[in-house]
Amino acid sequence: MHILLADDDEDDCLFFKEAFEDIKIKTNLRIVNDGVELMNYLTRTGIKLPHILFLDLNMPRKSGLDCLVEIKSMKHLRDIPIAIYSTSASEADIEDTFVKGANIYIKKPGDFGALKKTLEQIVTINWQYHTSGLNKEHFLLSI
C-alpha cells in the first residue's frame, strides 16, 4: 500500500514513520517536506500514485490548502483520497478543507498510542465506499 506524507516537521515525520512500523499492515511510506516538493513529486511522470495522501496544512513555500486545491483541479490526481493531518482544528480550517474536497480531517494526537490507532483506522477504510457516503459530521475524525 502506497502512502504519501507531506509534512515539514521532522519530529512528526519520525512519529509517523515509527507508527507505521508498529502497525502490522504492509505499507510503503514516502515523505515530502513541503508543498512544492509534493506537487513536483505528484506531477513527475512514471511514479506510482499513492493510495492515500496525508497532508499537513502549515508548510513552507506552498501551504497544504493550496496543494489541496491544485490536486483537486488535476484530472489524474483528483481521485487520490486526502487526509488532512494538522495540529490545529479550527472551524475555519475544517470548513475550508471540507469544501475544497478533502476526505477526512485528523487532528494530530498527542499520544503515540492514539496516533497508531488513528493511522490504522485510516488505512483500513475502504475509500471508495467512504467517498460516496461523504458528509460533514464524519469529516473530522474523532478518536
- 34 vs 32: CA distance, rounded Å: 6
- With beta carbons less than 8 A apart as the criterion, state whether 37 and 133 touch: no
Q: Of all residues in the chain, what percent are helix, strand and coil, respectively (each to 5)?
A: 45, 15, 40
Among 74, 112, 134, 138, binds other proteins (CB under 8 A): 112
Number of residues that bind other proteins (CB under 8 A): 18
**11 is a site residue for other proteins (CB under 8 A):** yes
Identify the bridge partners of residue 107 per DSSP, sorted by sequence position: 86
Among 44, 110, 126, 133, binds other proteins (CB under 8 A): 110
**87 is a site residue for other proteins (CB under 8 A):** yes
**143 is a site residue for other proteins (CB under 8 A):** no
**61 is a site residue for other proteins (CB under 8 A):** no
Q: Which residues contact 131 (CB under 8 A, 6 or more apart)?
A: 81, 103
- The pattern of x and - marking residues 20 through 39 that bind other proteins according to CB under 8 A reads --------------------
Owner of C-alpha cell 496543494: 67
- With beta carbons less than 8 A apart as the criterion, state whether 32 and 9 touch: no
**68 is a site residue for other proteins (CB under 8 A):** no
Catalog residues that contact other proteins under the rule CB under 8 A.
9, 11-12, 15, 18, 58, 86-88, 90-91, 108-113, 115
